[in-house]
Structure 1
């Protein structure tokens, strides 16, 4: 992998920031908001921010970058597809339970549903995420799907995933701000910046940093997982030309730093050949 140390630094930072954000939201709902329960009261509502941040944001972020982890490249692409789909499914389940919790709380308390921008964007994100999940499984995990369909759908799938992740982050920031405004409507008020406001505002900053790091990892082409199908196509279509230029680097692949360096050399040579042909 090119810039391997930079990748490890960004990945570690994302993991640390994401973990701290999870600790913050747990602290918020347990200490400031009265804990967790499933009784239609405020404690049931608290599942909403907890599951959305731990599941819909953190697990979705992991699902986005799972293909970029170089130590996972020794596993087949199909195995990684199942892992990617599993993480997304867990994120979706978390989002559904979180949505049920807030609707149940609103209905029990006589609070109207779906009146705020946060609720509009939140429900839209959940529905589109379900569509993204169904299409992803149908196109990439069903063996009868034509390869041409998979190739044509890939840009849409990739863009849709990043767009949804950004939308969920933005919706979460709206939600925690809205919750603070309601929770701190009397003394102390939100505008006076009491400890809870500072704490939850910091949680919002952590979510933004986590999202920025995930976006950075997901958009670096030099950190993209090498495509086995692409390598196979190059060998079959370009024959001896590819074999003579890529073959020596492939023969050097092994575990550890030498394997990573050789893999980076394969990528550079493939890209160079591809540029020459196109």
Structure 2
């Protein structure tokens, strides 16, 4: 049985083509020694159809720069030689456009509530207005930005992008919960019924799915307990449900916007009241933000490329399991 390094050792996440499982252990680990290439002694390597996530443990006081893998040095020196990953030419423009749309949506929501709904307050009749603003900031803008993290931060470590992705989702969830508490508290004080409309049903579904998605993603990708093969099998579902929940959030916001207009304007909605026109433009901006974010996510050539360090480790796993040199391909 291979000797596992204690928890005090540092860990580095990287992507690889071969997932290695230490014999007699549940966690898939690869032990590395300073100034030596990876050793396959006592480690059973298995091929996977998908690229799993692997983990290397480094002794205390050492970093990835103290190791060489397959003759290729790791760390900052290798990054400086290989250069940063190139950013696709059109990607920054689409990201900037999405942020312009998102910030405009938030600003226009605030303007709508300020001009036509009296503003925002936690007490009294204005408490309800906390709900739409919180939902737009949390489940629309911040959730969209969380999905774009792996497209925008292309040269940071995988651990950094994971943490940022998770934190943005936490902020989005907390702000959304503030909006939910506000609307339920407002309904209770006014004696209004809860959860009878399509908007409220869709909103409850989105909130539950969002929390479950975040909880499962945290368990699988930020904590080391899940096996690499399990992570690789779950990753496509995580990506799919992330985009689906975002799409449902935009749709639910549109339902809520229309519901608010009909409650207040009634028949006047068809007479092109100024509030109705402003809210319609807000709805189109919501759609534009959602479509732009989803377009960026679905461009396969805009995905975050593996780091040079990840590629070196991946090639070394191939050498260990197939016996050929990475340079022979």
Would you say same fold, with TM above 0.5? yes
**Root mean square deviation, CA, Å:** 1.8
Alignment of 1:196-275 (within 5 A): 196-228=275-307, 231=311, 232-238=313-319, 242-243=326-327
Query: Deviations 1:64-122 (Å, cap 9, x if unpaired)?
Result: 011111xx233211111010000001111111111111111111111100000100010
- Whether the aligned pair in 2 keeps the contact of 1:68 and 1:223 (CA below 8 Å) is yes
1:123 aligns with 2:207: no
Alignment of 1:92-111 (within 5 A): 92-111=173-192
Query: Deviations 1:194-214 (Å, cap 9, x if unpaired)?
Result: 000000110000010000110
- Counterpart for residue 180 of structure 1: 261
Structure 1 pair 33–244 and aligned structure 2 pair: CA distance change class (3 A): farther
Given candidates 94, 109, 115, the residue that maps to 1:10 is: 94
The ranges of structure 1 where at least 4 consecutive aligned residues each deviate by more than 4 angstroms after the TM superposition are: 238-241
Alignment of 1:145-156 (within 5 A): 145-156=226-237
1:46 aligns with 2:166: no
Given candidates 64, 67, 91, the residue that maps to 2:150 is: 67
Select the structure that is richer in strand.
Answer: 2
Structure 1 pair 150–120 and aligned structure 2 pair: CA distance change class (3 A): same
**In 1, Cα distance between the equivalents of 2:248 and 2:326?**
42
Structure 1 pair 218–241 and aligned structure 2 pair: CA distance change class (3 A): farther
Tell which structure's C-alpha radius of gyration is larger: 2
- Whether the aligned pair in 1 keeps the contact of 2:219 and 2:225 (CA below 8 Å) is no
Select the structure that is richer in helix.
Answer: 1
1:161 aligns with 2:242: yes
Structure 1 spans left out of the alignment, 5+ residues: 246-278
**In 1, Cα distance between the equivalents of 2:286 and 2:159?**
31
Structure 2 spans left out of the alignment, 5+ residues: 1-84
| DSSP-derived class of the 1:144 partner | coil
**In 2, Cα distance between the equivalents of 1:221 and 1:50?**
33
Aligned residues: 240
Structure 1 length normalisation: TM-score? 0.82
Deviation at 1:35, TM superposition (A): 0.9
Structure 1 pair 68–3 and aligned structure 2 pair: CA distance change class (3 A): closer
- Whether the aligned pair in 2 keeps the contact of 1:57 and 1:168 (CA below 8 Å) is yes
Deviation at 1:230, TM superposition (A): 6.1
1:22 aligns with 2:106: yes
- Whether the aligned pair in 2 keeps the contact of 1:2 and 1:223 (CA below 8 Å) is no
Alignment of 1:71-82 (within 5 A): 72-82=153-163
Structure 1 pair 241–198 and aligned structure 2 pair: CA distance change class (3 A): farther
